Structure 1
Amino acid sequence: MLQEQAMPQRMTKVNGLATRYLDYGSPAKGAKDLVLLHGLGASLERWLLVAPTLSKYFRVIVPDIVGFGYSDKPTVEYTMDFFTDFFDKFLQNLGIEKPHIVGSSFGGHLAAEYAIRNRRKIDKLALASPAGVMRTSTPILDQYIMAALYPTYENALKAFRDMAHDPSIVDEGTVTDFVRRMNLPNAKYAFMSTLLGMRYSPPLRGRLSSVIAPTLVIWGDEDRMIPVQYAKEFREVPNNELVVIKDCGHTPYIEKPKTFNRIVLKFLAGKEELVP
């Protein structure tokens, strides 16, 4: 994992809430903005294996979504209305107009919902194992929820290892940081409130047809948290493309970062020669 001092960390206030984020700056004049949205219970650190490479081509912005990471965790209802409003104001704060957005799991749900509600505010959309279409839980998701509610090192280690196709990719820093963050004030509340907010949000099915942004859907073929069978739900997006990564679990940007970057750069930049 990258060293803390190498992270271009910033803070901003969104609706009065302190929000931590990374801003890698523009690699060249006129470079497109690219926003990376993490999953449930996660933080911006989850993107550190891919963000530096992506920042060679885009101004990469990576927030700790409100309620998670080291951003504020207010006692509110964490509904999709709350999150889409937060995200819209976050983009306004940073002067970002019509970015590319890449969202993982819960972050994919948020990105898709934002694309439905703000059709012309997104250029291209990439969703990695997005949530929002699975209405029943899985044993791996249940295990992850238990690790969040009872954040011991052992519980978190098992949850992260079982989430991945190759458990050896899970490092100690990821586990200890998850445990530390889930023990922060209001962290468990924000986690569970978000789960409920996702559960009772308007269904994506039947609404994805209104997304006008070209959309890439990326899934690991061995994802046991949100199985790849749910990828078919996103065919409803008019301009969609699906890429399934072999021997990969729920987090392709961590398990297969080079493959992930090649796929995303080809989709976003549209030029093979940009692929490292």
Structure 2
Amino acid sequence: MSQNNIRTEVENACNLEGQPLSKLSIEDIVNKYVDSETRQGNPRLYETLLLEQNQLDFQTKFLKDHSHIITLPNRNNLNIRSCNNVGSEVLTNKPIYVFLPGLGGSLDQYEPLLRLMDILNEKFIGFDLPGFGGSEEDTSEGGYNMIKVCHIINEALQSIITQNYSTRDTIELRLVGHSMGCYLVLHFFNSFQTKTEYKISQLILTSPPKKKIEPLDKNNRLNQFGLQLLYKLPIIQDFYRSWFDQPKGLKSVGIANFFYDTKEDTNNLSRLYRKLWQFYNNLRVKSSSIAGYLLGWEDLPWDELNDNLSTIDKIKIIIISGNEDYISPIKDVIEFQNSFRDIENVQLICIDNCGHNLCFDKPEVVCKILQDIATNTI
């Protein structure tokens, strides 16, 4: 494959023109919400974005064409949103890339990567976690315990596989996680790597958190009490978000901490659009779901995990991080990388001038990395 073809595929995956269902150009959408001189959102941006007539600005053709709702009968008919291309052709000998988002995230954040996978004719399945994006809240016992969430994802995955595979051959999975999704990927591996129908060959971990997050320790009773309070009374967090954070628009915490800004980026229309898209998604996140996931946080059993990883021949672990990530600083990412012991193929790729939301902050760079992974260049 020539370098020109590679560039074209990455550029096509990242090109947003013609994607919004509102049928407006990216420039028209950006100018609709962002001042042309200051490049900041209007003072009531957080209200304007949620108006019914503006919803189609941040829904895209590719995601709409590939998204489906999976109903899980064993989970009180819980509805999980998936975006996948698994049913488009026979899957013989094709690995499936499974994408899991992070805390408060959705599969929308993987949009350029999903489009690239489709362009490369690679199979992908992305999920919205229960309680986020287009998936329903899980109000059953156990809430959002991480291990339980992994079992829910497995049931949704099995539903897709059962519908599209005529045989029960071993299926190769390549798991991709972002932020908290890295924890979910590793818990999923630990829970299901011994299942005969799965061969988990790659773990692609983007912007991983610290190897252990002490404030979420179950023995920290004060923090656990505070999270229980926020879970049962989300109005407390809602009050802070709606009165103090969301009015800041593109300078709100969920944007400032997810993107690394340089002067050169102020007139980048695609980047401004992705910021608006991220902010639009942030506005729809429920405070109770965030508190529920923090309550359900489970530390990684590193000893057991490493023992299980060592039994998988030639497993590849690739960690991708931004060097300007405020949420997952590079020193924590390196410590996370060093927690994998006796694994030959663990690689860290650091992206310059990039924040926490890699796929929206530096989509072209991340797409090129994933393309190299898919074509075994990395």
Q: TM-score, normalised by structure 2?
A: 0.62
- Greater CA radius of gyration, 1 or 2? 2
One-letter amino acid of the counterpart of residue 154, structure 1:
P
Contact kept, 8 Å, 2:79 with 2:136, in 1: the verdict is yes
Q: Equivalent residue for 2:281? A: 177
Change (3 A) 1:228 1:147: farther
One-letter amino acid of the counterpart of residue 203, structure 1:
L
**Greater Cα shift, 79-88 or 89-98:** 89-98
User: Any idea what SS the aligned residue of 1:250 has?
Assistant: coil
Contact kept, 8 Å, 1:43 with 1:64, in 2: the verdict is yes
Change (3 A) 1:253 1:5: closer
User: Any idea what SS the aligned residue of 1:48 has?
Assistant: helix
Change (3 A) 1:207 1:254: farther
**Greater Cα shift, 6-15 or 213-222:** 6-15
Q: Equivalent residue for 2:81? A: 20
CA distance in 2, matches of 1:19, 1:74: 10
**Greater Cα shift, 42-51 or 170-179:** 170-179
Report the CA distance between 1:27 and its aligned residue.
7.0
Change (3 A) 1:83 1:131: farther
Q: Percent identity?
A: 21
Contact kept, 8 Å, 2:69 with 2:81, in 1: the verdict is yes
CA distance in 2, matches of 1:36, 1:104: 8
One-letter amino acid of the counterpart of residue 289, structure 2:
A
Q: Equivalent residue for 1:127? A: 205
User: Any idea what SS the aligned residue of 2:302 has?
Assistant: coil
- Residues 1:236 and 2:329 aligned together: no
Q: Equivalent residue for 1:219? A: 321
User: Any idea what SS the aligned residue of 1:84 has?
Assistant: helix
User: Any idea what SS the aligned residue of 2:79 has?
Assistant: strand
- Residues 1:87 and 2:148 aligned together: no
One-letter amino acid of the counterpart of residue 149, structure 2:
F
One-letter amino acid of the counterpart of residue 338, structure 2:
R
CA distance in 1, matches of 2:125, 2:239: 29
Q: How does 1:56-205 map to 2 (within 5 A)?
A: 56-57=119-120, 58-76=122-140, 77-95=143-161, 97-120=171-194, 121=198, 122-131=200-209, 133-136=211-214, 150-152=240-242, 153-154=246-247, 157=250, 158-159=252-253, 160-166=255-261, 169=271, 171-179=275-283, 181-182=284-285, 187-198=286-297, 201-205=298-302
Report the CA distance between 1:136 and its aligned residue.
4.8
User: Any idea what SS the aligned residue of 2:112 has?
Assistant: coil
One-letter amino acid of the counterpart of residue 339, structure 2:
E
One-letter amino acid of the counterpart of residue 230, structure 1:
D
Structure number having the greater helix percentage: 2
Gaps of 5+ in 1: 138-144
1:129-161 per-residue CA deviation (whole Å, 9 max, x = no partner) reads: 123624157xxxxxxx99877443335632212
Report the CA distance between 1:110 and its aligned residue.
0.3
User: Any idea what SS the aligned residue of 1:218 has?
Assistant: strand
Contact kept, 8 Å, 2:257 with 2:325, in 1: the verdict is no
Change (3 A) 1:111 1:249: same
Q: Equivalent residue for 1:141? A: none
Q: Equivalent residue for 1:54? A: 117
Gaps of 5+ in 2: 1-15, 21-59, 163-170, 216-233
Contact kept, 8 Å, 2:210 with 2:336, in 1: the verdict is no
CA distance in 2, matches of 1:38, 1:156: 23
Q: Alignment RMSD, CA only?
A: 2.6
